[in-house]
Structures are given as structure tokens and as C-alpha cells.
Amino acid sequence: MSESVHDGLAGRTVLLTGVTGFIGQALLERLLSGHPGTRVVTLLRERPGVTAEQRLDELLAKPVFAPWRERTGEDAAREIVRDRVRVVPADITESVPELPDDVDVAIHGASIVSFDPPIDEAFATNVVGTIDLYEAVRRAGERAGKTPHIVHVSTAYVAGSRKGIVPETTLDHEVDWATELEYAVEARRTVERDSRRPEVLGRLRAAALGEQGKAGPTAVAADTERRRREEVDNRLTDYGRERARSLGWPDVYTLTKALGERAAEETARDLPLSIVRPAIVESALRHPYPGWIDGFKMADPLILAYGQGMLRALAGIPDGIVDIIPVDMVVNALLGAAAQVPEPGAPAYYHVGSGARNPLTLQRLVELVQGYFAEHPLPGTDGRGAIRPRDVTLLSDGRAEKMLGTAERAMDLAERALLILPSGERTRGWQRTLHKQGREVRALRRFRDLYGAYGAAEVVYADTATVALDRSLPDGAGCDSAVIDWDHYLREVHCPAVTGAFRLAPPHHPQPRPALTSGRPAPPAVRFEERRDVAAVFDLDGTIVASDVVEAHLWARLLDVPVRSWPGTLLPVLRSAPRYLRMEHRDRGEFLREFVRRYEGANEARLRALARERLADVLLRRAWPQAIRRIRSHRAAGHRTVLLTGTVDVFVEPLRTLFDDVLAARLRVVDGHFTGHFEHPPLIGEARAAWLRSWAREEGVDLAASWAYGDHYSDRPVLEQVGNPVAVNPDPRLYRHAKRERWTIADWDGDTGAVSTLLDAALEEAR
């Protein structure tokens, strides 16, 4: 940095908030690497089990600090941090503690960054937190006889939804932040109260019962409460969005940032105040290295969605200005502003963007991104070939809304239809297609709602004061956007940074798990880490064998009677099928209890002998080859293999040797005959999950490292207990849930079919 900036910050103590954020990380790195005479105080929120000091250690291990650590040496870097950085545990949304008396400059960058948070949460951070912090800075200054300089990090978009040139001065509005804050807090109380009305809770519980009924009452209750909280947050988000738009801002983020500015002006009226308004902050142009980025910023989801072939249309005007600025230029401006102290009561204002000096239009941005992916396409999801995205069509807001409305209605109808279809490969194929199309539609909706106002912007943020500030900064470390070559920055710096981050750690996706593929010839067995404290938990029907309890009953009956008697044996079951389906849809436990009544009076010894002598072969032939290989692979790694099933234990015996633990349903026996009732309630849904948690504690099993396999939505509670859930040939509801949760989905085949199995038995008898 230049001598003027060094002089302005040398020997001074700088308070930083928001250091875990994008700009905050870059600010802390620059102070450590470029201002050796400056001390730092940082506010950090503690996390459960993680102290503020530990969070600082985690932060300093991030890539932004890597070049500095390499130049300085790891030991020297740690020593510098111990000498120059102090941590104050604090959460400004709750309370701000007393600050050190030696604070000379406070750079406040902490804020809620979501465009559409609930209105009270946005006010708590962007307004209340700002006021509390600046009051604490004032008190610290009064104790030391100082007037600390406050540098308030805002956003250029506080100007609201307007056109034309926005000057670098105080905002032109008469909105009373105190009144808006009062009603934002009241909105939470009102919405929470309304959400507890009986008619609302009844509606939410009915929806939860339809979705989670098979998983059990605890799952229904949890889902009811989840829906209530989600409805509360959505309602408060609507409050914020509509209140912001009614006052002339595109969203509650920009509204509360604007009111936070006004609160800062009033709270710091007798302190030096500089307000810095960055535009869209993206990856570094030069420092700490070209393309440094942490997480996905505002434009990045759009860029990545296009590269993945998901972005075909975008709401916006071709000549609208997309005001992008690299993060290192923002840091240069913040430190330059911190070194130039204005008079108390006469705040300084700086717009840090590119629209005034070096405008980038939406059409030009689209062209450059399309050009990048034409040269560097992302690989296809199957690992073969490459994604070749189509050109993006820019739509007016009205056309975009009409297109999305039509697509969303069609998606809703298709999804409801698929949920009532029987499970099968064809159904799952339709679901895969629908899921992919649904992701595209939801992405387009999200982009339209969040970015529509920014893509249609016809505004220029004047930057006269920022250009003047740039003259005090050295070449290569300034804040004048005129030096940016957009072709070079987007195609050689920013887009490679975004796609590189995606390939290394895909957002919201788990790390890849062992592939679960089927086909012939058989794939080699999956190798697992050898551990004795890991379990592999399997369901039976539909997961290991291509059957269910109805088929098991039919095998037992048909193989025990002559072929000529089969019609009479089949007919009663077929007549009852609709009733069984209705019960199974409502409650799996009710269905099982009703069905096992068919075993009333059956001779226990005879049925067990039949299972040993004739059903064992049928069962093993009905087993998925992939399932048997998977069980053996787990056992080879020392994992505890567990079978959890609602099937009667008689029919499980042939598979018992594959498992270390078997938990199956048992029928009550009186005088050597089955009564048609269970000896104990069968373990279904959340009852299985409770058993698994208790068993894991007693046996010392690490569920976070364990595996579970299931095919039915009622298996969801068990699948959620482990770190590696696998949905095997899932029914439509489980498939949908697995896709949402990014679980592994396995398509296992190899079944010879029930018809051929029974025909083999008939031929054997005919011989």
C-alpha cells in the first residue's frame, strides 16, 4: 500500500466484524500481510463446542491466507497472529460486549447476506446489530478519550429500485428506521401466533400425515412442526419482500442495509463516519491471487447453472448494467477510506463498482460466459462426454413469469401423478427426468425472484469520490474499475475460479460414495474401510429380495398344495388386495397386522419345515445379486451386518447366515399353532430407528460412519440415522426424498421374477 495508507493505519488498532465473510477474510489477510504496524481486534461468534479463538484458527487455515503463510513461514505467521490479533467472542444479533479502549478504526462488514430472509432477522442484523456495535465503539472511545473512525460497509443497491445516476451522498428517503424495526419485530409475534391456530395446525398436520404417515407418528409430529416453522419463515419473508417493494427497494436485504446506513448516520453523528458501498463483489483480480473466491457469490449460481445446462432463459434487459467489482478492489477502497478520516458529522461516501467507469452489460456478460463454456465445457454427470449448454434467452419480467407459471403447474401435476404410481424402473426413470426438469424450473424461479430486479437495472452509481481515493493508492492496488479487462477477467480469472471450486467441492452435494451400479458382467465388489465399529443395516423385502410379505405368504401356500389347488389359494388374496393396499398406504403396521391373520391356525413346525426345505431356494433365487455382494463386502470389511425386517422370522431363516444380527417379526404360538397375531409389535418406521439408536449405543457402533439400505418410504427413519443412506429401487416417495437429500440411489436388478419361480415349482411337481 502507499505511504499515506500506511501512515493512516500504522500503530493503530482496527476493529473488524464479519471476518468469516468474503470481504472480511480478504480484509484481515491484507492487514496481516500489508500493514505490519497495525493491530486487529475481531468479533467472532462462538459455535457449539468451538470457541471464538478456535474459529480464528480455522479461518487462518483457509486459502486466502496461504500465500502470506508461505511467504512468512507457518511458525512466524502464528507468532504474528498471537501478537497482533485479539478475538472478542460476540454475536452482534444478540448483544455487543464492551470493546477494547484502544480501537481507532471500526470496519463493520457483518451483515445478513441473503436477499430474502425473514424480515425480523434482516432487521436484527443489519439495523439493530449496527446500532449496538456503534454504541459500543462510542463507549470504548469515551473511556480512552478518542473519537474512533467508523467505516460502514454497505452496498450500492441501497439506492433502491431507481433509474439514472446515483450520487455518492446520503440516501434520499424519509423512511423511519425505528418505526420499521418496531413493526418487523411485531410481525414475528403476529405470524407465530397465527401459525398456532387450530385450523392452521390441522391443515399442516394433515399434509404431514399424507407425506410421513408411513414413517410413524413421531415423524408426522416433527414434519408438522417443520411445516409450521417453514410457513412462519415464508410468511415473514413475504412481509419483508412486499414491505421493501412498497417503499422502493427490490428486497428486504437492500431495505435493511439502507435503514442500517441511516441508523449509522444518526448513531455515529459525532464520530468520523465513512460509508463504503460495493456493488456485486466477485473473485479477486490480483490479490491474494487471481481468482481467489470463497463460496458462491451473487453472479456465480447463474454462471454455474449455465455451465451445467440448466439455464436456458433469464429475466433481464440486454443493455442493463451488471455492476461487478473484484473483491481485492473493494478491500483497497475500504483500507484507503479507513486511512482518510472525515470530520465528525460530515460522512464520506464511496461507491465501489464498475458501472460508471467500465460498464458491463447483461448481454456482454452472457456472451462472455457462453464463450468460456464453449471452450471449457463441464463434464457430464455420467463422467462421459461434456455438457454443451444452449444459448441463453433474455426475457422481459412478464414473459419470464408467464413461462415459469406454466412450467410450475405442469411440474406439480406430473409429480402428484408419479407419487401414486407403483414403484418400478420405468417410474423411477420418469422421476429422474422430472427431477432434472424440476431443478431447472426451480432454479429459474429462484433466479427470477432474486436477480430479476438486478438484471433489469438501469442505474449508474457515480464514483467520483472513489476515483479520487484511488489516486492515493499505488499502482496495482487501487480501486478504479477502469483497469478491468472484462474478457480477461471473466474468461481467464473468474469463470475458471467458479468451475474450479465446483469441481473440488460441489455446493450442497456430499462427497461421492462407492458406486452402486448393476449390470452384466457383475461389477467387482465394493471395498469398504475396515472397521469394527461400523454397521450395515438392511431391510429385506424390496431391498435384498424382490418380494414382499404377500409374495412370501403365496410361496408358502402355493408350494404346499397341488397345482390344481392354486386358483382357490390365490383367489382370496387377490380379492383382499385393494383393502391391503389401502391399509398399507395409511399405515404399514396396520397392514402387517391384518395380513398375518392369514396364518391363524397354521402349524408352526410344518411351516418352518416348509421354509427350510422348499422356500429357502425360492428366497435365494429372488435375492438381488447386488444385495448379496454388498452384504458380503460389508462383512469382509469387518462391519456388523444387521437385518431389520417386518417379515415373519420363518421366512428369514435362509438368509440368517449372511447377518450378524437379525431382527424379524415373530408370530405368537399356542399349542404348536400360530394365532395370527404378533408376539411383539413389529419394528416399522421410527420404531426401527429407535431400536437402531439404542443398539448402536450398547454395541459401540458409530452410526455416522455406518450404512443403511431400504426401498420403502417407511425405511426413511432408519436411513436418516446413518451417515451413508442408500435407497434401493426406491418407491416414488422415497425416491423423491432421496434426491432432495442427495442420498445414494441404487438400481439393483437380476430378479428372475415371481412367475418363473412359481412355474419352476409347478414343473417340479408335474415331474
SS3 string, 221-241, reads: HHHHHHHHHHHHHHHHHHHHH
The whole-number pLDDT of residue 466 equals 95
73-77, 84-88, 379-383, 499-503, range with the lowest pLDDT: 379-383
Q: What is the pLDDT of residue 92?
A: 86
Give φ, ψ of 219 to 5 degrees. Answer: -65, -40
State the average pLDDT over residues 42-66.
92
Domain presence at residue 422 = no
pLDDT tens-place string over residues 442-465: 666 665 555 555 555 678 899 999
Residue 308, all three cell numbers: 451445467
Task: Return the pLDDT at 427.
Answer: 60
- Quick one: average pLDDT of 489-495? 93
Q: Considering the chain, what is the average pLDDT of its residues? A: 80
Residues 90, 76 contacting (CB under 8 angstroms): no
How many whole angstroms separate alpha carbon 381 and alpha carbon 308? Answer: 9
- State the average pLDDT over residues 249-278: 94
The dihedral through the CA atoms of 280, 284, 288, 294 has a sign that is: positive
Q: pLDDT by residue (tens digit) across 655-691?
A: 788 899 988 877 787 777 877 666 766 667 778 888 9
Kindly give the residue spans of alpha helices, DSSP state H, lying in 588-641: 588-595, 604-610, 616-621, 625-636
Amino acid at 204: L
pLDDT given for residue 303 in this prediction: 82
Q: What is the pLDDT of residue 186?
A: 95
DSSP code for 562: -
Question: Is 165 part of a structural domain of the chain?
Answer: no
Note the pLDDT of residue 729.
85
Rounded distance between C-alpha atoms, residue 263 and residue 274, angstroms:
13
Tell me how far apart the alpha carbons of residues 727 and 708 are, in angstroms, rounded to a whole number: 8
Mean pLDDT, range 20-24, rounded to an integer: 93
- Note whether residue 669 is domain-resident: yes
Cell numbers placing 113: 447476506
* pLDDT tens by residue, 163-173: 789 999 999 99
Number of C-alpha atoms within 13 angstroms, CB side, residue 587? 10
C-alpha 419/C-alpha 2 separation (Å) is 65
Which one-letter DSSP state was computed for residue 98?
P
d(CA 151, CA 107): 5
At residue 509, the pLDDT reads: 30
- The total number of structural domains that make up the chain: 1
Could you tell me the end-to-end alpha-carbon distance of the chain, in angstroms, rounded to an integer?
Answer: 95
In the predicted model, what is the mean pLDDT of residues 359-381?
A: 87
Mean pLDDT over 579-602 rounds to 53
Structural domain contains residue 310: no
- Residue 760 buriedness (CB in 10 A; 0-12 / 13-18 / 19+): middle
| Confidence label for 578 from pLDDT (cuts 50, 70 and 90) | very low
Q: Is the pLDDT of residue 569 over 50?
A: no
Distance CA 107, CA 386 (A): 45
**Least confident range of 203-207, 246-250, 368-372, 654-658:** 654-658
Q: What is the domain range of residue 645?
A: 535-766
pLDDT at 697: 93
Long-range contacts of 471-476, Cβ-Cβ distance < 8 Å, separation of 24 or more: 472/2, 472/4, 472/5, 472/336, 472/339, 472/340, 473/1, 473/2, 473/5, 473/332, 473/336, 474/1, 474/2, 476/286
Is-contact 86 40, C-beta < 8 A? yes
In a domain? residue 735: yes
Contact between residue 117 and residue 252 where contact means Cβ atoms under 8 Å apart: yes
Is-contact 674 668, C-beta < 8 A? yes
**pLDDT for 523 beyond 80:** no
Taking residues 406-434, report their average pLDDT: 60
- Given a cut of 90, whether residue 32 has pLDDT beyond it is yes
The position carrying cell 440516501 is 171
The 10s digit of each residue's pLDDT in 501-519 is: 765 333 333 333 333 333 3
- With respect to residue 475, please indicate whether it lies within any of the assigned structural domains: no
pLDDT grade for 326, boundaries at 50, 70 and 90: very high
- pLDDT (0 to 100) of residue 59: 92
Residue 251 reports pLDDT greater than 50: yes
Return the pLDDT at 640: 94
Do the domain assignments include residue 756? yes
pLDDT of residue 47: 85
CATH at 711:
3.40.50.1000
Q: Is the pLDDT of residue 301 over 90?
A: no
What's the whole-number mean pLDDT along residues 112-130? 89
Q: Picking from 29-33, 113-117, 638-642, which range would have the lowest pLDDT averaged per residue?
A: 113-117
Q: What pLDDT, on a 0 to 100 scale, did the predictor assign at position 614?
A: 60
Smallest CA-to-CA distance from 12 within 201, 149, 167, 207 is with: 149
pLDDT in the model for residue 340: 92
261 CB-contact burial (10 Å; exposed 0-12 / middle 13-18 / buried 19+)? buried
Is residue 43 exposed (0-12), middle (13-18) or buried (19+ Cβ within 10 Å)?
A: buried
Residue 722 placed within a domain: yes
